[in-house]
Amino acid sequence: MKDISKVIKLHVDNERQLFKVPRTSFVDTDVFESERNAIFNRCWLYLGHASELAKPGQFVTRTVAGRNVIFNRDAGGKLNAFMNTCPHRGATVCRDRAGTVKNFQCFYHGWVFGSDGKLKDQPGKDSYCDGFNDAGGGDLVKAPRHEEYRGFHFIAFDKDIVDLPTYLGDAREYIDLVADQSEVGMAIVGGTQEYSLRANWKLLVENSIDGYHASTTHASYLDYLKGTVGSLAPVPLVGHGRDLSNGHAVIEYAAPWGRPVGQWIPAWGEQGKADIEKIVAGLAERFGAERAQRIALKNRNLLIFPNLIINDIMAVTVRTFYPLAPNFLHVNAWALAPTEESEWSRKSRLENFLEFLGPGGFATPDDVEALQQCQTGYENVREAGWNDISKGMGKAQPAMDDEVQMRAFWTEWNLRLTRANAAA
């Protein structure tokens, strides 16, 4: 393995309050391969939400860090994560993206597996020895680790990784603020946004928790809001950024848009106002006025290292993405909502979701263009070799448009790659 220590070395000068990242890390193929091993093979990775599998027999198939995985609820109600490969000759067992089944059957030689992954039948099984599967070698292989927190299911390919709550650490506070929006449970709304872009995956990490670019990159959306929110006094983008340790980070802030969980805007009319007041009253009854106001009125962009983003903004979006090359990544995103919310609230939520974060919305095309232009700019890496991520460095309380959250990500990224490189 190539020594990448120089390629991944950050320039951190605490005295001068400078934090710089080498642009080679966005283009170098050896860094890309090292990230697969040191990060994606060694971290908890988001698989799906429990609400996607409401009934026994339901399944979805997902690609997680290059592996094809079956996420399902078996006949007994247990949620499982199986490697989607036949133990016989390796063929993909489940070729559908979602559905409901009693059993999985491999199309190649016809082996049949129960929803619990156990081998149930084999054509020509009389030709196998007695007790062929007593040790379970013919069953579907489980993901090495599979745990959940508040309905969010994660898997890991390192069997010795710390448990999920320990890994999440201080990020659990912000997951709770999302999960507590419903008294009966949050649920993924049907449908998936799926797209690719020609940029390095770390650019999308940065962008997803970057409050600095909002007023310029998304100026057209902010101008649009001025003409649609009615007489509501302007709410500035004001808040703070926070390093949550372990590479996790968040920005939490006030913003001018409506939030179906608690921030009314005049454009939603009297029906919307009544719905919002009822929701906020329910939150206050359950959690007290202070926490209810935080849940209702504060926006959050949360990073779970390395690649899960939960945007609790004008709607709740769960987004994950994986690199396919140093300059190419694939994105999946889902809308999350309180199960019990009204028809009006759901309609307003999805309109918000698509209006800003949809592929044709205000934000996503702007962000895609910006990130692809950054990737193009890295063709000049020999002459212009560093990204500056120093904004707000040294502040006791970084603002939401400072860059402490990106420094949190890059510090963990550098630590993991440095350790792996030294071991190699």
What is the dotted CATH code of the domain comprising 170-420?
3.90.380.10
For residues 49 and 148, is the Cβ–Cβ distance under 8 A? no
Q: Which long-range contacts (CB under 8 A, 24 or more apart) does 264-269 make?
A: 265/228, 265/229, 265/230, 265/232, 266/229, 266/230, 266/231, 266/232, 267/228, 267/229, 267/230, 268/348
232, pLDDT greater than 70: no
Q: Which amino acid is at 123?
A: P
pLDDT at 225 over 80: no
CA distances for 206 relative to 48, 202, 253, angstroms: 22, 6, 17
> Hey, which CATH number is domain 45-160, 2.102.10.10, 3.40.50.12280, 3.30.830.10, 3.90.1310.10?
2.102.10.10
User: What rounded mean pLDDT belongs to the chain?
Assistant: 94
pLDDT confidence of 1, banded at 50, 70, 90? low
Q: Is 219's pLDDT higher than 90?
A: no
Least confident of 35-49, 244-258, 338-352, 369-383: 338-352
Rounded distance, CA 261 to CA 36, Å?
38
| pTM greater than 0.75 | yes
Whole-angstrom Cα distance, residue 79 to residue 58? Answer: 10
Q: Is the predicted pLDDT of residue 282 greater than 50, yes or no?
A: yes
The residue ranking higher by pLDDT, 226 or 161, is: 161
Domain segments of the chain as ranges: 45-160, 170-420
What was the pLDDT predicted at 230? 52
Q: What is the mean pLDDT of residues 347-355?
A: 85
pLDDT exceeds cutoff 90 at 226: no
